[in-house]
Structures are given as C-alpha cells and as structure tokens.
Amino acid sequence: MSAGFAGPVDPELYEAVAARLRTAGSAGVLPIVQSGDPVLRTPAAPYTGQLGDLLPRLAEVMRRTMHAAPGVGLAAPQVGIGLALAVVEDRGNESDPRERTPLPFRLLANPAYEPVAEEGPSGTLRRVPFFEGCLSIDGWHALVARHHRVRLTGQDADGAPIDEVLTGWPARIIQHETDHLRGELYLDHAVPRSFVSNANLVSIWAGAPDPAPVAAALGFELP
C-alpha cells in the first residue's frame, strides 16, 4: 500500500495494470485511447492504493506517453486504466497571452476543482475562452470557456493532500484532466461551430492565442 492511501492493493487490478505496462516496451510509451472507447466515458474509480508499489512505474509510463504525444496532461483512462489518476507538466511560455506559466511534473490522485473568484475588490468568478485539443480526439481543436482560477484538491503520488489555487493555462490543464476522470471530454463543453483541424489552427490561425478573429471568421460568439 502506498503511504498516505488508505486502501489495500487489489491483486487482480495490480496484475492487469502490470500487464498493460509491459506492453509499453523499452520506450515506455502506451497507445492513447481515442474517443469512442467506453473507458473515456466511464467515471474513474477513486484511487485508494490499489496499485501499491506499481504506482511510480505507471506514473513514469504516463509521463513518457504524454511527452511522446506530445501533450501537457494525460489521465489514466486515456491509457485504458479506469483509475482517478492523471499526470500534468508544462514548461510554460512567458510570451504566451494565455498565461502559460510553468506547471512542474506531478501525478495527481483523485483531483477535484472548484472555481475561485478573482483577486481584488470585484471578487467575481471569471471564465476565459481559448482553443483546446485532446490526445484522445486526435487532429482537432475547439473553443472551450474555462474557469480562470480554480482551487485544486486531491492527493499527490505519496498520498499527501493537495490544496492550492491555479490560474490561467495551468488551471485549464487541471480542469481538462480532471474532467477526463469524470468521463467527460472537452468537446462536451466546446462551441460546436469552433471545431478546427490542428493543421488549420496552425496554418490559418497561428495557434489562435486570441480566439476573437476565429470567432468572427467562422461565425460564432465567444462565450
């Protein structure tokens, strides 16, 4: 049992996950499940320590798979494992107008989030629209309005509690990956008319750091 997690190891699940990890090979990379597989639409089971000493190996394989994709987050259901686990990491980009501050690598167990009011006298809740993609919906992006600030709770890889506030792009990553563990995909929250291929997002819209021109050209309102 991992320190900080209350439940015992589940021998059957342990062996099933161990078998899946053996398929990662020397590169340590697993195939990413694509939309249409029921595992992506099934709420993940809470992680209570079922994998014991196998958890670090799973975290490393998920990290390598995320990097190889490449991506900035990966939930366990995306590699066919229905447990409430996710890895995140983004080096950030200070010049990016989406507030893309660095998000160090970490494994999240049982993450949850709630919106947090903006700092200052107004204290309002704020949502911001930007384009998102997903490793499980290969080839597409769409506009999604997300909470600008969120409170993240859950546990780390050792079972220690997490309780912190994230802003901007890191907050978006947390919301995206946590939604995966609820059986949700970003397209559930997207503006349908905004769907654009990855190639067009880059070649026509230069990644769309400002979604306003895309909205005007494609004929939809920013949420």
Binding residues for Fe cation: 134, 176, 180
Which conformational region is residue 159 in: left (phi greater than 0), alpha (psi within -120 to 50 degrees), or beta?
left
Nearest-angstrom CA–CA distance, 197 and 39: 24
Per the annotation, binding residues are: 134, 176, 180
Single-letter code of the amino acid located at 74: L
Catalytic residue, candidates 60, 177, 184, 221: 177
Report the candidate in 52, 70, 51, 60 with the shortest Cα–Cα distance to residue 28.
60
Single-letter amino acid, residue 131 = F
Residue 219 tokens read as: 């004929």
177 is catalytic: yes
Spatial separation of the C-alpha atoms in residues 113 and 84, rounded to whole Å: 13
Positions marked active-site: 177
